Structure 1
Amino acid sequence: MGLQEFWFILIAVLFVGYFVLEGFDFGVGMLFPVLGRTDTRRRVMLNTIGPVWDGNEVWLITGGGALFAAFPEWYATLFSGFYIPLLLILVALILRVCAIEWRGKIDDDRWRARADWGIMIGSWVPAVLWGVAFANIVRGVAIDENKQVTSGFFALLNPYALLGGLTTALVFALHGAVFLALKTADEVRADAVKLAARLSVPTVVVAGAFVLWTQLAYGKGWTWILVAVAAAALLGVVGLTAVEREGWAFVLTSVAVIATVVLLFGSLYPNVMPSTIDDAYSLTIYNASSSPYTLKVMTWAAAIMTPVVLIYQGWTYWVFRQRISTKQIPPSIGLPLKTR
């Protein structure tokens, strides 16, 4: 295995980590209107991700940095051709960060309501658009001989990509519901378990259709294994949520996310962005990569720093592993809202 293959696999691993960890963060925010019927319940939901959500976003930052350094041609073509959806994702993530950080700064119901809208929008938009973006990457876009995407934004809204967006939204919502059932107690846990059970069936149908479409249109022989793993995991979630085994259900939603992301990257390889104009214009791990020396230096840096990051993040999850209940939430305390 050469350095190009190694970095392609590493970028896939980084996005796997991002979608597994940030996926339940998105799910928690997406479910605010359903499970967060009172301010206390919403604070419980936020506290389940409070110690970890910003650490989970590091996976995206690292993945983007690795993409830029290892495959600059891929990075340039992707961010120019997918400018609008990626910009919308970025704006939504910034909105979500501000809403989470500032929600409790002012003691006013209207302020918190606006922050809650920011959290919901900042969760729903990336949850949908990440699926749209990755589906288009696998499907291919109109890339010309100059490595420029010639199609517009609305060309990205094709049936396969829209199904991908619906899939990631449902999977993240289910992932978040199962996570809340795992991390909360009393009535929040009870409602999260019921919601996860209701979400599991439509998620299996939609995600199953997307995974099967991906395999039949773009997959390879060995990726059938990933289709089977994703399908078995989601079917297992249906049964486990019905009997309120949220721990194992969370494991299986994570397995389903992992199998789906690996299926997308496996279907893509050795391309990184296929061209629908001419296969000769497609970007591959070879014609889009940095120099061998750059990849070598990056490999040493990754070998040193990656274990440190993984150990620290694992320690964070261990420290904040306890369940949270509404009884543990103190009254809201913040600065009074200034009025004229």
Structure 2
Amino acid sequence: MEIFILAFFALGYLVLAGADIGVGMALPYLGRSADERREVIAAIAPFFLGNEVWLVATAGVLAGLFPELEGELLSGNYSVVVALLLAWVVRDMGLWLRGRVPGRRWAGFWDGATVAGSWGLALSWGLLLSHVLLGIRGPIALLPALVVAALFVTHGLTFAALRLRGVLRERAAVLSGGAGPGRSVGAGWSGVDVRTYALTAAALVAVGVLAGLRLPLHPGTAGAVLVPVILVLIPLLVAAQGWVWWTFRHRVTGPSYL
């Protein structure tokens, strides 16, 4: 049961947060003016904080139920983990601070921080997964890390295609040829957008599962106490995530609070 709980949170983070990380990576391509970038950021504004909860939950489950694995991952990848945390902070600073002071230079600087932090997150996860999956470190690990980063940005584009309108949606829908919305399947989403998003989500899940199969998943002794508590909290987390997606199920119609 402990393994399934860890997989649930870790894979949920890759799929959900992978989308907003990917949108941040593709921000210069999607938004080619200050107003366009603000509308692109509005696509992830309601989701990114909730998505980060899945990473916090994953870290908590790792520390509480798999202390041996936590120690091995941290001690063996200390610099990568530090880089990941720094990129996380920089990305969130960019999102929160871009609109706090009027002026295009201010917003442009923090948009750059959002892009840099998003790429830092993707590459850090890529390096970590490269070590777990392939057992490689050093400069050569950048090659598989770039593949993982490409998967993140692809996933972000498919999410942006679900959320944006007009020319922004056409740029995001590059994987489906930039075709028009076509037949709607609800909330103004097109079938091709949903299918493409599902494919990139499945690819991230596959990478996460393959990495998990390579890990020494030996639960600690705290499962008898923690597992029942976590099982009670999981439906609440899923319900909250579902409520957010339902509330913001329609396409973006303008800039957000960020």
Same fold (TM over 0.5): yes
SS, match of residue 290 in structure 1: coil
Shift of 1:296: 0.9
For 2:138, give the aligned amino acid: L
Q: Does 1:259 align with 2:203?
A: no
Q: Which of these two proteins has the greater Rg computed from alpha carbons?
A: 1
C-alpha separation between the residues in 1 aligned to 2:8 and 2:143? Answer: 23
Residues 175-214 of structure 1 correspond to what in structure 2 (within 5 A)? 175-194=155-174, 196-197=175-176
- What is the distance in 2 between the residues matched to 1:189 and 1:42? 13
Matched, 1:308 2:236: yes
Listed as ranges, the matches of 1:47-126 within 5 Å are: 47-126=42-121
Distance 2:99 2:139 in 1: 40
In the TM superposition, residue 166 of structure 1 has moved relative to its aligned partner by 1.4
Match of 2:245 in 1: 317
Cα drift, residue 301 of structure 1: 0.5
Maintained 8 Å contact 1:193/1:246: yes
The runs of 5 or more residues in structure 1 that have no matched partner are 1-5, 141-154, 199-242, 273-283, 335-340
Match of 1:247 among 173, 177, 194: 194
The match for 2:134 is 139
Q: Structure 1: how far apart are the matches of 2:116 and 2:194?
A: 28
Runs (4 or more) in structure 1 with deviation over 6 Å come to: none
> Are the structure 2 counterparts of residues 298 and 114 from structure 1 closer, same or farther at C-alpha, using a change threshold of 3 Å?
same
**Shift, 1:248, TM fit:** 1.3
Contact 1:20 1:254 in 2 (8 A): yes
Q: Is residue 166 of structure 1 aligned with residue 146 of structure 2? A: yes
- Given that 2:80 and 2:124 are in contact with CA atoms closer than 8 Å, whether structure 1 keeps it comes out as yes
User: Structure 1, residues 190-219: CA drift from partner, whole Å, max 9, x if none?
Assistant: 12113x358xxxxxxxxxxxxxxxxxxxxx
- Secondary structure of the residue aligned to 1:106 is coil
Kindly state the Cα deviation for residue 244 of structure 1 after the two structures are TM-superposed: 8.3
Give yes or no for contact 1:48–1:183 (8 Å, CA) kept in 2. Answer: yes
Contact 2:94 2:111 in 1 (8 A): yes
Deviation sequence 1:260-313 (CA, Å, 0-9, x none): 2112212x1xxx3xxxxxxxxxxx333xx321xx11111111111110011011
What are the equivalent positions in structure 2 for 1:222-301 lying under 5 Å apart? Answer: 245-266=192-213, 268=214, 272=215, 284-286=216-218, 289-291=219-221, 294-301=222-229
Give the distance between the partners of 1:105 and 1:158, measured in 2 at CA: 38
Name the TM-score, length of structure 1 as normaliser.
0.68
Higher relative contact order (CA closer than 8 Å, sequence separation 6+) = 2
Match of 2:181 in 1: none
1:298-330 per-residue CA deviation (whole Å, 9 max, x = no partner) reads 1111111110011011110110011114xx349
Aligned equivalents of 1:324, 1:102: Cα separation in 2: 21
TM-superposition CA deviations, 1:66-107 (whole Å, max 9, x none): 101111122122212211111011001011111111111100
How far does the alpha carbon of each residue in 1:22-61 deviate from its partner, in whole angstroms, 9 at most, with x for none?
1111111111111110111111111111011011011111
Identity fraction in percent: 31
After TM superposition, give the deviation of residue 164 of structure 1 in Å. 2.7
Amino acid at match of 1:285: L
Aligned to 1:204: none
- The code of the aligned residue for 2:125 comes to W
Aligned residues: 247
Q: Secondary structure at the match of 2:234?
A: helix
Structure 1 residues 264 and 80 mapped into 2: Cα distance closer, same or farther (>3 Å)?
closer
Equivalent pair of 1:193/1:244 in contact (CA under 8 Å): no
Return the alpha-carbon distance in structure 1 between the equivalents of residues 148 and 21 of structure 2.
Answer: 10
